[in-house]
């Protein structure tokens, strides 16, 4: 009888009911205005109604750094998890690290 609570569907149903109950209770406690004001249904844009002069971020410097970070950390993860029991595995790890270094040099040259 109690085992259905430990199954994933049972736990999911219990959590959905719990979240729905909390949502209902907190909706009763939340502040509701007496009348709708102008703009209350619009999204908040820092008080700016003119969208032509809004900042357009440039990610051209971010992506090379993100790729460098990802490649370096994946290479570190792979190399730290390689067992060094045989020479064949060590050679493969050195080939891998040399390919990673070549890839990073190509990335940083641009």
Each domain of the chain, given as residue ranges in start order, spans 1-29, 60-110
Q: How far apart are CA 70 and CA 85, in angstroms?
A: 27
Q: What is the pLDDT, as a whole number, of residue 55?
A: 65
Q: How far apart are CA 23 and CA 34, in angstroms?
A: 21
Q: What is the pLDDT, as a whole number, of residue 17?
A: 95
pLDDT above 90 (res 82): no
pLDDT above 70 (res 1): no
- For the stretch 37-60, pLDDT in tens is 776 677 766 656 666 666 666 777
């Amino acid at each position: 009888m109690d085992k259905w609570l430990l199954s994933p569907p049972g736990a999911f149903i219990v959590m959905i009911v719990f979240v729905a109950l909390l949502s209902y209770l907190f909706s009763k406690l939340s502040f509701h205005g007496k009348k709708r004001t102008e703009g209350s249904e619009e999204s908040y844009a820092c008080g700016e109604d003119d969208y032509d002069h809004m900042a357009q971020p440039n990610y051209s410097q971010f992506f090379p750094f993100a790729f460098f970070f990802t490649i370096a950390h994946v290479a570190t993860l792979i190399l730290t998890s390689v067992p060094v029991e045989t020479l064949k595995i060590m050679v493969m790890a050195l080939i891998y690290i040399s390919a990673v270094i070549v890839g990073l040099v190509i990335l940083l040259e641009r």
